[in-house]
Amino acid sequence: NLSFGQAVTAKNLVINGAFTVAQRSSDPVNDDSYRTVDRFQLLYGGTDNHPTQAQHALTSSDTGPYEKGFRFSYHITNGDQTSGAGSGDYMNIRHRLESQNIAQSGWNFTSPSSFVTLSFWVKSSVSQNFYGYLYVPQGTSQLYTFETGILTANTWTKVTKTISGNSNLVFDSSNGVGLDIVIAPFWGTDYTDSGVSLNSWGAYASGTRTPDYTSTWYTTNDATFEITGVQLEVGSFSSDFQFKSFAEELALCQRYFY
């Protein structure tokens, strides 16, 4: 219980979720993997034209995140996918968390009555629904798929998902990959299935990651997609974003940078 006026500060398990650190480049880059902002990578395949990733400076016109204190986003600009949306095409943003950080977070991850909450701001130049998922590779790999809901074009929307534990989840106390957070502008039908269930844990399979995608964003030349304020915290509600000083965030990022 909180007393009147007591502040709530999250323990954000995501590193660089406000995208303040970009040791590799703060300029747009036409390439995949880690090329701009730290700890987040753009992955894509089957594209006719490379997309661009960038650390993007927000302004007061970015209604929603700007007044909450966010000054940067991770910004993806689509290329010209002239051959259309192929079944093997994909484009997604991925953040990887160490297993030991999940194991020692305070989340009773094997209990369905214990929760973590994922929240982030998202904006697309094209109005459509998008999907994301949490992926746990240890043990029998598990997947938790969610949707953003239909986004209004060029409008920031905050997405919040409260996620229960599950008896099949495994996180050891190592520095190996424990959890992937994936937010995707597009997956082709080689990776999707109309029967995929949302908001529940299930066994991972490469061909059933999300429901089938609307291809409008992917087939729109120079469509944009951006996120900021990515937070994963223990508990069943979304608290205010945990802003760290630049020095703190940089020190956390430097552990992974080379």
pLDDT in tens, 25-49: 989 999 999 999 999 999 999 999 9
Where is pLDDT greater, at 9 or 93? Answer: 93
**Where does residue 156 rank: exposed (0-12), middle (13-18), buried (19+ CB within 10 A)?**
buried
pLDDT on residue 4: 41
- Residue 15 confidence (pLDDT) above 50: yes
Cα pseudo-dihedral 203, 207, 212, 214, rounded to 10? 130
Contact 218, 91 (CB under 8 A): yes
Q: Residue 198: how many CB atoms within 10 A of its CB?
A: 13
- Residue 2 confidence (pLDDT) above 50: no
The percent of residues above 70 in pLDDT, for the chain, comes to 96
- Residue 3 confidence (pLDDT) above 50: no
Residues whose CB is less than 8 angstroms from the CB of residue 220 and which lie 6 or more positions away in sequence, other chains included: 78, 125, 126
pLDDT on residue 7: 47
Token pair for 204: 């991972």
Q: Residue 1: how many CB atoms within 10 A of its CB?
A: 3
Q: Residue range 135-163: average pLDDT?
A: 98
At 90, the pLDDT band (50, 70, 90 cuts) reads very high
Contact 89, 218 (CB under 8 A): yes
- Residue 21 confidence (pLDDT) above 60: yes
Q: Dump strand ranges (E) for the chain.
A: 40-45, 52-57, 72-77, 90-98, 115-124, 129-136, 142-150, 157-164, 177-187, 201-203, 224-234
| Mean predicted lDDT score pLDDT of the chain | 95
Contact 255, 248 (CB under 8 A): no
- Listed residue (51, 1, 3, 42) closest to 19, CA to CA: 42
Q: Residue range 126-130: average pLDDT?
A: 98
pLDDT tens-place string over residues 221-256: 999 999 999 999 999 999 999 999 999 999 999 999
pLDDT on residue 235: 97
pTM for this entry: 0.95
